[in-house]
Chains A and B, each alone.
Chain A
Amino acid sequence: MKRRKALKNISLYISGTLVAPTSSIMLNSCSSPSKELDWIPKNLNNDEAFLLTEIANTIIPNSEYPGAIAVGVPNEIESYVFNVYEVENISKFRDGINKFDDFLNNNPSKFSKSFYESNLSEKTEILNSIQKNEDSLIRRIYMTLKSLVITSYFRSEVGATQVLKYNGPSIILGKYRGCIPFEEVGKTWAI
């Protein structure tokens, strides 16, 4: 993502009253690997929260739509995991994050620098290649994180109403039409 475009997108969210993710400027730059967060984790430590934020931002960065950080995906995942998971699964989740963090720190990619020092397109390539590799613990951890990021994003207001077509009311009210041209809807239903 171009720094200028990121800034432009961020200014959109300010006017849209969403939380302004100041640190995504930093996340999108390729110079500073210092682990600053623009949200305050309640349970995760800074390294864990930073990894979660980086993964979320790489999977769904700002585009024509606000990305995962802009809609608050990392905070949402933290809140979901710590409120809903059973105790042993919370530690499994944290353990997974730490293993993934170690992997990203200790396995320099073909770009010969760590994940955190890479730019967005390099990060994208690193994550996509993990998914395309054969089954491994690291891949399973990544798929769990990705699933959380995607679920949280498409259940957010932006994901469900802008990227997808929100069908909250029509899922309960109104008639069922079983065969209509896709153009009438235009996007995948959110629910």
Chain B
Amino acid sequence: MDTKNNYYHGNRPNSGYLARFRNLKSNDMDFLRGYGYQGGASRSGWYRAAEEGLTGQDLINTASNPGGWNMNLLAFGEILPYYENKMYLDKDKLDKWGMPTVVFETEIKENELKMRDDMKNSAAEMLDACGFKDVKPYDNFYSMGNGIHEMGTARMGKDPKSSVLNKWNQVHAAKNVFVTDGACMTSASCVNPSITYMAITARAANYAINELNKRNL
């Protein structure tokens, strides 16, 4: 197939998805849980004209012809629940309105680092096996927030001493407060969580209405 002559029209509404394949039936890796890949293929565009030492007509010609194909795989992996990962209010360090500032104290640990190694190497292995050339595995390192679907900080649990919310997303210490976003999660799983958030929100709202009708709230 002459891929040099292939192009595309319109915008792909989604990306490729490779579901989790590690540690499915038994734990046979040196880390717990797993990850999925998202990604897609495209031809490089006009911007590459900046990177080559070109000006004038040569630059115009390069920019108006698409460059080579490339394919990207991006891994999303689970972050285990760590008791030490937390956010709190710092009452000694105030903002300019005199309010306590928020402090996040979080890090990924050995399990995540080992998983990242496997994410990187497996992606390279798959692309190699598919016949891709010039495969470059990379790890851009992680800081909380890069994963887009951040979870936790008001985790759900039975014991008010070790959790913020009960099983109905209701704050243990303030029954008329419900937190229904990703804050209730104890672990940040590798799958996209938005539909789960919608479901737990509907569930929590339903519970709240029933409780209200029973005059418990």
Mark A residues whose CB is within 8 Å of B. Answer: 58-61, 63, 65, 124, 127-128, 131-132, 143, 146-147, 150-151, 154, 163-164, 167, 170-172, 174-185, 187-190
Q: Cβ of B53 and Cβ of A150 under 8 Å apart?
A: no
Known: A58-B56, A163-B63. 17 other contacts (CB 8 A): A131-B53, A150-B47, A150-B50, A154-B46, A154-B63, A170-B10, A170-B11, A172-B11, A177-B10, A180-B8, A180-B9, A181-B6, A181-B7, A182-B6, A187-B64, A189-B45, A190-B46
Contact with A along B57-75 (1 / 0, CB 8 A): 1011001111000000000
Q: Which residues of B contact A178 (CB under 8 A)?
A: 8, 12
B131 within 8 A of A: no
Could you name 9 residue pairs across A and B whose Cβ atoms are closer than 8 Å?
A63-B60, A128-B54, A164-B63, A175-B10, A176-B13, A180-B8, A188-B63, A188-B64, A188-B65
- Which single member of B10, B46, B54 contacts A164 (CB below 8 Å)? B46
Q: Cβ of B55 and Cβ of A151 under 8 Å apart?
A: no
A146 to B54, CA, bound (A): 10
B171 within 8 A of A: no
Q: Cβ of B53 and Cβ of A132 under 8 Å apart?
A: yes
> Total number of A-B contacts with CB less than 8 angstroms?
94
A179 to B10, CA, bound (A): 11
B49 within 8 A of A: yes
Q: Which residues of A contact B10 (CB under 8 A)?
A: 167, 170-171, 174-177
Contact with A along B1-40 (1 / 0, CB 8 A): 0001111111111000000000000000000000000000
- Which single member of A60, A132, A150, A163 contacts B56 (CB below 8 Å)? A60
A70 to B117, CA, bound (A): 50
- Chain B CB within 10 A, most for which of A172, A174, A188: A188
Q: Cβ of B47 and Cβ of A151 under 8 Å apart?
A: yes
Q: Which residues of A contact B47 (CB under 8 A)?
A: 150-151, 154
Q: Which residues of B contact A188 (CB under 8 A)?
A: 45-46, 63-66
Q: Cβ of A182 and Cβ of B66 under 8 Å apart?
A: yes
Q: Which residues of B contact A63 (CB under 8 A)?
A: 56-57, 60
Q: Which residues of B contact A65 (CB under 8 A)?
A: 60
Q: Cβ of B11 and Cβ of A184 under 8 Å apart?
A: no
* Distance of B211 from chain A, by nearest CB (Å): 43
Q: Cβ of B56 and Cβ of A182 under 8 Å apart?
A: no
Q: Which residues of A contact B54 (CB under 8 A)?
A: 128
Q: Which residues of A contact B66 (CB under 8 A)?
A: 182, 188-189
A61 to B55, CA, bound (A): 9
* Distance of A164 from chain B, by nearest CB (Å): 6
Give the residue name and chain of the A residue nearest to B13 (CB): A176
Q: Which residues of A contact B4 (CB under 8 A)?
A: 182
* Distance of B103 from chain A, by nearest CB (Å): 24
